[in-house]
């Protein structure tokens, strides 16, 4: 989208959009070889990384452990994992985690040894955690310290990327909208999208409010290809209280012995999977929904996470963050059953990249949740997300450095001009975006949530396209405004999810079709690709 406004030109070697683990790790490496602008949409600590509780999955016990981590990752991905990507993840993982520890990350120890837990679909305990349930926050802290103290890094907080700039078919920077409504043009030899996921396309999500899929929308408009957008992971256990945010209740709780029970107090997972509460996330999430609708109740029964029978654990010490959040609502892990229900958590698809973070558009790279390497397949293995950010953030940085050496220096006298100044968004524009967003979120939750069928998805797609056309008209007529652009991002990501979900006429991993309930062999290792030029097609990786 073409935008207007007052421009201040900024020139750097590398532009990193997003300040989660992938963006921070890339910025740290890039800064040793050039100037870096690291852009955070909110405060630099506000990202999905900060809210990651359970831990980071990493094989620290040699080749056999690495091989087992690979097989667990492939098995959880339900026939869609791109094996070379998974190999890169598990092979690079121990080195990247050791590097992070060397930078001051404080993972929990007991008796001088790393404390390791087990989570769903893992064949052994390999999850490192920090301060009980604050792993992402601690990893982010250690990486931010590395970046903040580097003289070649400049951090821009509360700035939203609103357009990618291209010259001769190559991305050469971006336009940023600051909190005062001013637009700044950034020129860079290489641009990294590390903008995270898009949980805010759904009304039920564990993601922070910044996760509106902006990076995916930017890449798509720049001509990039998306992959596997139908695969959104719904975390099985988010706090489910009226009026409370859908706070994540870590899978590590189940790894420590917490059980899922229905209103009768029955432990029901034995009816759905042999691994019980430690089955893959897609299985557990759907089981919770099915159980809530089962039985002779005249209402949708509540589902609870019950920790009371787990032996020998002081829950407030093992999970201090979760305990403190529950205390706000008068709940205690040691005394109460905690009401839970699935919520949108993690996008397995995203902007298609190779194993070095290169997208299908020159000059544009992506890493972390915004990217689709095929590493997670149809269902992400628990706690592989933080590892993905570390591993592929480093790989993207390496590619950006190598590719930029082949480019001539950017001319500092080239500044993209703005159009004639347009009107500010009027009250009616603000109101329209404010009304559209929750409507779209509820619609996508109903049509493209845990269970899907063609008729519902097609109705949602038609309604979404109508809202998108009106939003686009208003955004084109106005100066850039965050609420309108975020609503536009939701329409773009939502349409990609729906179109890819309609194309995959089977059920696999996190994608469950009521009208196509079987997993079909012809879709094995076939990935959905989506672009503005070609819409949806399949490709075997």
Q: Tens digits of per-residue pLDDT, 221-230?
A: 999 999 999 9
- Given pLDDT bands bounded at 50, 70 and 90, which one contains residue 78? very high
**pLDDT at residue 298 is higher than 80:** no
- Given pLDDT bands bounded at 50, 70 and 90, which one contains residue 1? very low
What pLDDT is attached to residue 110? Answer: 87
Name the catalytic one among 281, 318, 495, 504.
281
Average pLDDT, the chain: 92
Q: Where are the alpha helices (DSSP H) in 294-358?
A: 315-318, 320-327
User: What is the token pair recorded at 322?
Assistant: 């979760």
- Given pLDDT bands bounded at 50, 70 and 90, which one contains residue 193? very high
Nearest to 536 by CA among 225, 178, 199, 70: 225
User: What is the token pair recorded at 85?
Assistant: 């990507």
Name residue 513's beta-bridge partners.
452
Burial class (CB in 10 A: 0-12, 13-18, 19+), 114: middle
- Which range is least confidently modeled, 204-208, 300-304, 335-339, 424-428? 424-428
Query: Is 26:400 a contact under the CB 8 Å cutoff?
Result: yes
Verify whether residue 513 is a known catalytic residue. Answer: no
**Span 327-361, pLDDT tens digits:** 999 999 999 999 999 999 999 999 999 999 999 99
**Span 456-511, pLDDT tens digits:** 999 999 999 999 999 999 888 888 889 999 999 999 999 999 999 999 999 999 99
What pLDDT is attached to residue 305? Answer: 96
- Which range is least confidently modeled, 87-101, 193-207, 378-392, 417-431? 417-431
Residues above pLDDT 90, as percent of the chain: 77
| Residue 275: DSSP 8-state | T
For the chain, domains (ranges, CATH) are 9-230+348-404 (3.50.50.60), 239-344 (3.90.700.10), 427-514 (1.20.58.100)
| Residue 338: DSSP 8-state | E
Residue scoring higher pLDDT (443 or 7): 443
**488 sits in which H/E element:** helix 482-503
| Residue 393: DSSP 8-state | H
DSSP per-residue letters across 424-447 = PPPHHHHHHHHHHHHHHHHHHHHH
What pLDDT is attached to residue 511? Answer: 98
What pLDDT is attached to residue 11? Answer: 93
**Span 349-397, pLDDT tens digits:** 999 999 999 999 999 999 999 999 999 999 999 899 999 999 999 999 9
Sorted by sequence, the CB contacts under 8 Å of residue 327 that are 6+ apart come out as none
Q: How far is CA 241 from CA 280, 302, 339, 509, in A?
A: 24, 10, 7, 27
Residue scoring higher pLDDT (68 or 430): 68
Residue scoring higher pLDDT (4 or 160): 160
What pLDDT is attached to residue 50? Answer: 64
Q: How far is CA 494 from CA 16, 214, 232, 447, 490, in A?
A: 25, 12, 11, 10, 6
**pLDDT at residue 314 is higher than 90:** no
**Span 203-213, pLDDT tens digits:** 999 999 999 99
**pLDDT at residue 170 is higher than 90:** yes
What pLDDT is attached to residue 297? Answer: 65
- HSE (side-chain half, CA atoms, 13 Å) at 167: 12
What pLDDT is attached to residue 5? Answer: 38
Rounded Cα gap, residues 504 and 522, in angstroms:
11
**pLDDT at residue 58 is higher than 50:** yes
Residues above pLDDT 70, as percent of the chain: 94
Cβ of 458: how many Cβ atoms within 10 Å?
A: 13
């Amino acid at each position: 989208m073409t935008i207007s406004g007052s421009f201040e030109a900024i020139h750097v070697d590398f532009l990193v959009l997003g300040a989660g683990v992938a963006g921070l790790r890339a910025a740290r490496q890039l800064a040793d070889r050039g100037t870096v602008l690291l852009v955070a949409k909110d405060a630099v600590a506000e990202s999905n990384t900060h809210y990651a509780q359970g831990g980071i999955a990493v094989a620290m016990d040699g080749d056999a452990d690495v091989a087992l981590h690979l097989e667990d990752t492939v098995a959880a991905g339900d026939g869609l994992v791109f094996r070379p990507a998974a190999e890169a993840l598990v092979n690079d993982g121990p080195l990247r985690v050791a590097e992070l520890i060397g930078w001051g990350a404080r993972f929990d120890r007991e008796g001088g040894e790393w404390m390791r837990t087990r989570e769903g679909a893992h064949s052994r305990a390999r999850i490192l955690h920090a301060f009980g349930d604050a792993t992402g926050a601690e990893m982010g802290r250690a990486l931010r310290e590395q970046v903040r103290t580097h003289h070649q890094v400049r951090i821009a907080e509360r700035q939203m990327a609103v357009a990618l700039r291209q010259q001769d078919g190559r991305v050469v920077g971006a336009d940023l909208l600051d909190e005062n409504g001013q637009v700044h043009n950034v020129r860079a030899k290489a641009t990294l999208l590390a903008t995270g996921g898009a949980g805010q396309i759904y009304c039920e999500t564990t993601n922070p409010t910044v996760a509106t899929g902006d990076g995916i929308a930017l890449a798509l408009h720049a001509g990039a290809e998306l992959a596997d957008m139908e695969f959104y992971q719904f975390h099985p256990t988010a706090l489910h209280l009226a009026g409370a945010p859908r706070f994540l209740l870590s899978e590590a709780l189940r790894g420590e012995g917490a059980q899922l029970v229905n209103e009768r107090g029955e432990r029901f997972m034995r009816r759905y999977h042999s691994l019980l509460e430690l089955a893959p996330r897609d299985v557990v999430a759907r089981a919770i929904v099915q159980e809530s609708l089962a039985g002779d109740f005249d209402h949708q029964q509540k589902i609870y996470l019950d920790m009371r029978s787990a032996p020998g654990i002081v829950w407030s010490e093992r999970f201090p963050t979760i305990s403190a959040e529950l205390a706000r609502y008068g709940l205690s892990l040691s005394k109460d059953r905690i009401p839970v229900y699935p919520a949108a958590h993690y996008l397995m698809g995203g902007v298609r990249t190779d194993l070095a973070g290169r997208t299908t558009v020159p000059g544009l790279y992506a890493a972390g949740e915004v990217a689709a390497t095929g590493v997670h397949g149809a269902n992400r293995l628990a706690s592989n997300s933080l590892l993905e950010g570390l591993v592929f953030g480093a790989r993207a940085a390496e590619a950006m450095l190598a590719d930029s050496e082949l480019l001539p220096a950017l001319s500092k006298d080239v500044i993209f001009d703005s159009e004639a100044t347009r009107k500010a968004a009027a009250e009616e524009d603000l109101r329209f975006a404010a009304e559209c967003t929750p409507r779209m979120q509820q619609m996508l939750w109903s049509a493209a949530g845990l269970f899907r069928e063609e008729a519902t998805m097609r109705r949602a797609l038609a309604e979404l396209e109508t809202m998108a056309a009106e939003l686009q008209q208003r955004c084109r007529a106005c100066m850039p405004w965050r609420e309108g652009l975020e609503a536009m991002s939701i329409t773009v990501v939502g349409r990609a999810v729906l179109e890819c979900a309609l194309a995959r006429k089977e059920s696999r991993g996190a994608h469950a079709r009521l009208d196509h309930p079987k997993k079909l062999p012809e879709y094995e290792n076939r990935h959905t690709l989506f672009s503005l030029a070609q819409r949806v097609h399949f490709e075997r990786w």
